Amino acid sequence: MQDLNEYKQSIIQRGNLPRHVAIIMDGNGRWAKSQGKARVSGHREGVNSVRVITELAGELGLKVLTLYTFSSENWKRPRMEVSALMNLLLDTINREVEDLDRNNVQLSIIGDLSSLPAAPRKGMQVAMDRLRKNTGLILNLALSYGSRQEILSAVQALAREVQQGNIEPEAIDHALFSRFLYTADLPDPDLLIRTSGEFRLSNFLLYQLAYTEIYVSPVLWPAFRECQFLDAIQAYQSRERRFGKVSEQIKT
């Protein structure tokens, strides 16, 4: 079996690394059930995967790592589970911010941060402020995030600008529209990873994923670690991204 460090170095040497990797972290509940544990145990173990993958993404020199942390639909889950998730979110950011700062990681959030309870909302803001000047990996957490609502909000904001005479309808193009999305300051994802073997987008970055390469892993998120992440990067490196062109156009 190839040594993990050798595997990582071969990935780096091969080049053609994605700038932005987005992950739908799926399977925490199923992992816990398979272990005979409560669902929250799966979420706790999933945090360990977040730590490992974030560190590895920085070592690989990726620019952005976006993690689908809590969707707008997740508020519909049982109240006790949502409460446990919010407490885990606060505990995790308080515990990890020191290492994130030491590793030059910047923290950003997309979604409706205002809908979070006061304590985790304040904790996330404090962490973002502390890490704001860092220049390494951008760890981008999708919190209380839903892509359809993001798109609707962007359309509404653009409509107001048009109504006020600040923008001509004919001036609205992809670049302008993107400036009204939560991800305005980020490049679109090059690679989307979904764990647990599910083949759906789950209302995640629907506009931004238009030309993103998709990799589905059968591994449940709490068991998704370095080798699985490197496998996904290697699969990305072997693909030809044509963006509507033909192979001959890409190679010239």
Catalytic residues: 26, 74
Location of structure tokens 């992992």: 31
Q: How far is Cα 216 from Cα 197, in angstroms, rounded to an integer? A: 6
What would the DSSP string read from start to end of 145-210?
E-HHHHHHHHHHHHHHHHHTTSS-GGG--HHHHHTTSTTTTSPPPSEEEE-TT----TTSSTTTTT
Residue 236 to residue 190: CA distance in whole angstroms: 9
d(CA 33, CA 214): 27
If residue 191 lies in a helix (H) or strand (E), which one and from where to where?
strand 191-194
H helix or E strand, kind and range, residue 69: strand 64-71
Tokens representing 23 are 């992950």
**197 three-state secondary structure:** coil
The tokens describing 114, both together, are 């205002």
In DSSP terms, 20 is beta-bridged to: 64
> Cα 211 to chain center, whole Å?
16
